[in-house]
Amino acid sequence: MRCLFVQIKCKPGSWRSIANEIAIKELHSEIYSINGEYDIMTKTYLEDFNEAPNLVSKMVSDIEGIEKTSTMFAFDPF
């Protein structure tokens, strides 16, 4: 299994409701509130990285208040 991390930048004051909407979809393993340029980070385990575009789209495409996302793959743990 490989890890997919999605960082999400939210409109001011909307991070909590966006995190709740993402949580309801149950497409992730973990959700974190974070500081810095982004407000939320999700962690998901994938069998195949080719699943990532469809998963990210399902996770965030219909949620109001998301300004941008950044997707990262983790390859090998140490």
**Structure confidence at residue 1 (pLDDT):** 81
**Structure confidence at residue 31 (pLDDT):** 97
Spatial contact of 10 and 67, defined as CB atoms under 8 Å apart: yes
For residue 61, give both structure tokens: 């495409």
- CA–CA separation, 11 vs 37, rounded Å? 12
Mind listing the pLDDT tens digit for each residue in 57-67? 999 999 999 99
Domains of the chain by start residue, with CATH: 2-74 (3.30.70.920)
- CA-to-CA dists, residue 42 to 3, 9, 50, 76, angstroms: 10, 12, 18, 18
Mind listing the pLDDT tens digit for each residue in 14-57? 999 999 999 999 999 999 999 999 999 999 999 888 889 889 99
Spatial contact of 32 and 41, defined as CB atoms under 8 Å apart: yes
For residue 52, give both structure tokens: 């990532």
- What is the model's pTM? 0.90
